[in-house]
Structure 1
Amino acid sequence: MSRTPLHTAVTEDGLAMVTLHGSGSGNALGGSFWDDLRDLMADVGQHDDIRSVALAGAGDLFSVGMDLRWYLVRLRRAQRSQDPGFMDADVHRLQQAVSAVADCPKPVVALVDGECTGAALELISACDIRYATRRAHFALPEAELGIVADLGGLQRLPLLVNQGHLRELAFTGRTVDAAHAARIGLLNDLFDDRAALHQAARRLNADLSRHPAPVVAGIKHTLDTAHHDAVTRGLEYAARWNSTHTGPTGLAQSMAARLHRSPAPDLPHPVAIP
């Protein structure tokens, strides 16, 4: 039975509460989620009655990250079609969805409870503000799949945490708890439970509503402009790196190994990117 990957409810005071259901268990991010997210962010940006957006996961976690089963099917189709441009085109499509969060003129706050892994961590890096419960935990394990995180985490996280902490996360794939994430600057604040987390989003929306919406949008755009070109270049480089070094075959093998909880196979020897 299919389900809607995103559910949106707008409160009377203009807070758009967006709940991520994704395409698989653990709010895995796949299927139509990516196009729906891109379209939703474009849509809320056009509504004067919406002052801010909150992203939360359904149930007791934010998201386990990319839906590997969904993407593995896509990779195998690409192998059969021998389409050399598939991986680049698909990664750009996913990057555009995450960038739509960063580009939304409304402030976007991530509300993280439980797990926030991989693509989900890259997604919240595109948000303006990040709140979490004390039971939240975070990881960027793409290296285990033999790929470079390519949805914007390596471009946007340096704006939040220092290089040493980011490199430790990206190199090791290690999971860090909410207290550590707050200590290194990934999170704005910690809360005891989901109810307090959602109340914090409502308080933030009330604070934002006291200022003219165009001014808030102008602040966001001004802050983003300073880093926009560097983020764009970094996204393109990561997409090219994965396409050149790993490709659909290597990534499909690594994803299948991850799904079966077995060690990933050796990947082809890297080749240089000009």
Structure 2
Amino acid sequence: MSNAALHVSVDRGLATVTILGSGKGNALGGTFWDDLRAFMDTVPTRDDIRATALVGEGETFSVGMDLRWYLVRLRRAERSHAHTFMDDDVRHLQHAVSAVADSPKPVIALINGECTGAALELVSACDIRYASRHARFSLPEAELGVVADLGGLQRLPLVINQGHLRELAFTGRTIDAERAARIGLVNDVYADSAALHEAARTLIGELSRHPAHVMEGIKRVLGETHQEGIRRGLDHCARWNSTHTGADGLRHAMAARLNAVAP
């Protein structure tokens, strides 16, 4: 597996997936999505892994989708007249996030610094979320003229109430770790990155006392009730953005966003 976009290490039953991404701030692009899905597909058969932790490299979890990477993909699709590209590609990315949610073993997000957009949708697929006091969260897709479509709108209602989620999705505003804990977005807040990793090691020690098939059974029972609704919601989002925004609209919105933040 390529280690350009993520790095995996396993220690005492905990597989730590460090997000490197394809751009500054561990932006999610390049081979990240395929590498993540490929790794998650191996987890069920690995006896040395009892749980997986997702963490960002350095002081940031992830700034979200790599807009430069995706903009290039949109331009190529337009030149090749691939009219179904946006719909097909969103489903491809959705599958990577769903591979995290569908893992039969617990997945923990260790969130330090920024966790924006697609990154927040990714951590919504995790079972447990720990944050450092430096963490901050936002879901700014509306600013690009699209509906968040990687599962956040389907999975976050299982984590936080509808009022808080709608506020995040409608406004795109950023919330800090304290508020994230208050609304239930994260399980707990720790002083720094080192404390996050220590919390994960403590958790894996507790999980390892229980049979693996019991952990899998808990995940299946908790997830089964909501699976059909999540699948329908993901399909609806993919079709909605493809129909209402389209590749051309998204390309212009991403280019404007990049120009706005350029130094």
Instruction: Please classify the TM superposition score into its range, dividing by the shorter chain length.
Output: over 0.9
Query: Which blocks of at least 5 consecutive residues in structure 2 are unaligned?
Result: none
**1:219 aligned partner:** 218
Aligned-partner SS, 1:9: strand
Q: Alpha-carbon deviation of 1:109?
A: 0.2
Q: Is structure 2 residue 50 aligned with structure 1 residue 51?
A: yes
Is the 1:34–1:94 Cα contact (8 Å) retained in structure 2? Answer: yes
Report deviation, 1:46. 1.3
Q: Give the CA deviation at 1:44.
A: 1.5
Q: Report the equivalent of 1:244.
A: 243
Pairwise mapping of residues 108-257 of structure 1 onto structure 2 (< 5 A)?
A: 108-257=107-256
Q: How far does the alpha carbon of each residue in 1:239-263 deviate from its partner, in whole angstroms, 9 at most, with x for none?
A: 000000011000000000000018x
2:65 and 2:29 mapped to 1: Cα distance? 6
What does the per-residue CA deviation read over 1:110-139, in whole Å, with 9 as the maximum and x for residues that have no partner?
Answer: 000000000000000000000000110000
What's the CA shift string for 1:187-244, capped at 9, x where partnerless? Answer: 0000001111000001110000000001101100110001000000000000000000
Structure 1 residues 3-43: Cα deviation after superposition (integer angstroms, max 9, x where no partner): 611101100x2110110000111000001100000011011
Q: CA deviation at 1:79?
A: 1.0
CA shift, 1:83, in A, is: 1.2
Contact in 2 for aligned 1:138/1:176 (Cα 8 Å): yes
Counterpart in 1 of 2:89?
90
Match of residue 7 from structure 2: 7
Does the aligned pair in 2 maintain the 1:61–1:114 contact within 8 Å?
yes
Q: Is the contact between residue 3 and residue 23 of structure 1 (CA under 8 Å) also seen in structure 2?
A: no
Indicate the RMSD between aligned Cα atoms, in angstroms: 1.0
Matched residue type, 2:36: L
Amino acid at match of 2:116: T
Does residue 99 of structure 1 match 2:98? yes
Alignment partner, residue 267 of structure 1? none
Structure 1 stretches lacking a partner, 5+ long: 263-274
Alignment-derived partner of residue 38 in structure 1: 37
Corresponding position of 1:62: 61
Classify 1:79/1:175 alpha carbon distance in 2 versus 1 (closer, same or farther; 3 Å).
same
Write the distance in 2 (CA, Å) between the matches of 1:45 and 1:4. Answer: 23
Find the counterpart in structure 2 of residue 271 from structure 1: none
Deviations 1:34-81 (A, max 9, x none): 000001101122111211000000010100000000000000111111
The letter of the residue matching 1:8 is V
Mapped partners of 1:45, 1:62: distance in 2: 25
Query: How far apart, in 2, do the equivalents of 1:115 and 1:50 lie?
Result: 27
Q: Distance in 1 between matches of 2:254 and 2:66?
A: 10
Instruction: State which drifts further: 60-69 or 46-55.
Output: 46-55
Letter in 2 for 1:57: G
Does the CA contact (< 8 Å) of 1:5 and 1:32 recur in 2? yes
Q: 1:50 to 1:3 in 2, by over 3 A?
A: closer
Q: Give distance in 2, aligned partners of 1:3 and 1:221.
A: 30
| Alignment TM-score, normalising by the size of structure 2 | 0.97
Q: How big is each residue's C-alpha offset from its partner over 1:82-131, in whole Å with a ceiling of 9 and x where there is no partner?
A: 11111111000000000000001110000000000000000000000000
The count of aligned residue pairs is 260
Question: What amino acid maps onto 2:163 in structure 1?
Answer: G
Contact 1:6 1:20 in 2 (8 A): yes
SS in 2 for 1:227: helix
In structure 1, C-alpha distance between the alignment counterparts of 2:259 and 2:40, rounded to whole Å: 35
- Tell me how far apart the structure 2 counterparts of residues 33 and 45 of structure 1 sit (CA, whole Å): 20
- Please say which of residues 76-85 and 147-156 is displaced more in the overlay: 76-85
Residue aligning to 1:21 = 20
Percentage of matched positions with identical amino acids: 68
CA distance in 2, matches of 1:7, 1:135: 23
Which one-letter code corresponds to 2:131 in the other structure? A
